[in-house]
Structure 1
């Protein structure tokens, strides 16, 4: 069975909607709302159709995972070129204020959350969802790392930093202890309502209502404090993959659920730094290094697993990968070792 990552099109609306209903909430980039999903596909179509690298823009690319035998879409992921260009990109920065009293001979360290737009201009990888029936065979890794090969092939359209927001802790009822303990007190809506509103209408209501002064975490409930910077249990594997790529938690957390924001320098992301572009010399070799292999640009971008081995003047590529990528001898591909 073979899978390929490709650019999303309008015909993917239905499978995207069906997958969105399986996320379980807290997944802002994949809302179970047909109109919001269609808006994402419209925006992605504009990005895929825009040629050239001269203008820095706030663009969205939506990719999907397709079973090449059945044509079924079984996963998706997204890439934002420059966050905060259209609307402010808010995060909480977790910091410490140290104060000392000579009279009491005591030093007090207060942990604080400060609303910030520090990450404006960074690129973002997000919206990754793999159908529960496909969570084997490294397909999550293919979905995640294909985004970095896409960035490598279109480097001028992305920022110098790249971030990934991991979903925070969500309770069994679909609520967020972090939201309930902080923002929910100012918005008059529960987490599910705020999350859905944000997914469909954007962040402006955050700017309108979120308190701008720092929040002392000691003033929050114990349940809210306990989840700051923690990923949802389903996101722990994603966090490890990000760390393997060179991402790190730099004390920025999501303003809705308190989940961690992972950050890396774009050119130091492992899959971008190690990617190589080669000419396909021959097709059919089933031995060599297992790799992620990508071909095409923008709307013709495709990425899959394949075997790559050195050949005189280029590489030999396994037949299944060549078929999935629709390439042959003399075509060029970008590849990186499968970790």
Structure 2
């Protein structure tokens, strides 16, 4: 296993297309932010490249996408990726289902009934989103998933004006052994002439606006769904459970919003309250040495020059820190470099 210190998170470039395409083929379906489609991935990278090229934020938050990749600094191989969306719902309505309860009382029967309902909503429009996190199966150890996930928050901190006050993360929902979605089959599939695999392929390339356009807008009683569809509401795919725990550790919560496509949970948080954003500290490198200290994530640079890696960091006081040589190499920094760091937890 390659040490985690041999990896750096950096801005993606159009040249990363072959790497992203090979990883996209490993996702197993339902992973809409990383479709196994070269044209769709190329469009994402071009959009990201334009966002990295835009030096200053405007007076309002634009609809931008930033794609980051995890690179092995020794081999140059790309082994993971993640994405940041600055403003969802600006191009098209951003729909979610909100799971709520309707309480009714019958005086004649002397009974109170509580019915769960799914209501179509655009409550989360205007939020920023972190998503598209995928780590190559051969690297799922040593904290690389955590490095990818938390690097996004240090990126947000470095470009705070380009992100909203609220942030969300959509987790992939339950997919059965046959590649189907119990939630889709029990709800949306009844209104469309396609199975989940067909809808998944269309969704990955074109987005799920078509679902929102054709789905009934009135609330849906969950008691009318199949047992398997009802049981899948708000549950993450088994491969996403670790991601859900990482989000919860950052302060995200599941507030009963679920994805209209596969029923997976949508996690939300106030951007400035996200743990890594809140607790990260600015510092200046005063020396590069193997001199002990704490394990931390360290980031430097803006936009295309952004880089993030694991490091050993020792605080010398008054804003100065000592970082290890491996970190300095991965981040391409020397003494006097400005960094931001957060303890590895």
TM-score, normalised to structure 2, is: 0.97
1:86-112 superposed Cα distances (whole Å, 9 cap, x missing partner): 111111000000001111111010100
The equivalent of 1:218 in structure 2 is 223
Q: How many residues align?
A: 339
The equivalent of 1:107 in structure 2 is 112
The equivalent of 2:42 in structure 1 is 38
- Flag structure 2 segments of 5+ consecutive residues without an equivalent: none
User: In structure 2, the residue corresponding to 1:112 is in which secondary structure?
Assistant: strand
How far residue 285 of structure 1 moved from its aligned partner, in angstroms, is 3.0
How far residue 211 of structure 1 moved from its aligned partner, in angstroms, is 0.9
User: In structure 2, the residue corresponding to 1:128 is in which secondary structure?
Assistant: strand
The equivalent of 1:315 in structure 2 is 321
How far residue 210 of structure 1 moved from its aligned partner, in angstroms, is 1.1
User: In structure 2, the residue corresponding to 1:65 is in which secondary structure?
Assistant: strand
The equivalent of 1:231 in structure 2 is 236
Q: Distance in 2 between matches of 1:137 and 1:272?
A: 22
Q: Distance in 1 between matches of 2:200 and 2:63?
A: 22
Mapped pair 1:144 → 2:154: no
How far residue 51 of structure 1 moved from its aligned partner, in angstroms, is 1.0
The farther-off stretch of 47-56 and 131-140 is 47-56
The equivalent of 2:336 in structure 1 is 330
User: In structure 2, the residue corresponding to 1:208 is in which secondary structure?
Assistant: helix
Q: Distance in 1 between matches of 2:149 and 2:201?
A: 24
8 Å CA contact 2:83–2:132 kept in 1: the answer is yes
The equivalent of 2:81 in structure 1 is 76
User: In structure 1, the residue corresponding to 2:287 is in which secondary structure?
Assistant: strand
Q: Distance in 2 between matches of 1:233 and 1:62?
A: 24
The farther-off stretch of 108-117 and 185-194 is 185-194
Q: Distance in 2 between matches of 1:277 and 1:50?
A: 24
- C-alpha root-mean-square deviation of aligned residues, in Å? 0.9
Q: Distance in 2 between matches of 1:311 and 1:178?
A: 54
User: In structure 1, the residue corresponding to 2:174 is in which secondary structure?
Assistant: coil
How far residue 16 of structure 1 moved from its aligned partner, in angstroms, is 0.2
1:194-240 superposed Cα distances (whole Å, 9 cap, x missing partner): 12212211233123211101000000001100110011111111111
User: In structure 1, the residue corresponding to 2:282 is in which secondary structure?
Assistant: strand
Q: Distance in 2 between matches of 1:315 and 1:87?
A: 45
Q: Which runs of 4+ in 1 moved over 4 A?
A: none
User: In structure 1, the residue corresponding to 2:125 is in which secondary structure?
Assistant: coil
User: In structure 2, the residue corresponding to 1:37 is in which secondary structure?
Assistant: helix
The equivalent of 1:280 in structure 2 is 285
The equivalent of 2:28 in structure 1 is 24
Match among 173, 188, 207 for residue 168 of structure 1:
173
Q: Distance in 2 between matches of 1:156 and 1:78?
A: 17
Q: Distance in 1 between matches of 2:177 and 2:203?
A: 21
The equivalent of 1:207 in structure 2 is 212
Q: Distance in 2 between matches of 1:215 and 1:26?
A: 23
User: In structure 1, the residue corresponding to 2:185 is in which secondary structure?
Assistant: helix
8 Å CA contact 1:88–1:203 kept in 2: the answer is no
Q: Distance in 1 between matches of 2:200 and 2:161?
A: 32
Match among 4, 11, 14 for residue 10 of structure 1:
14
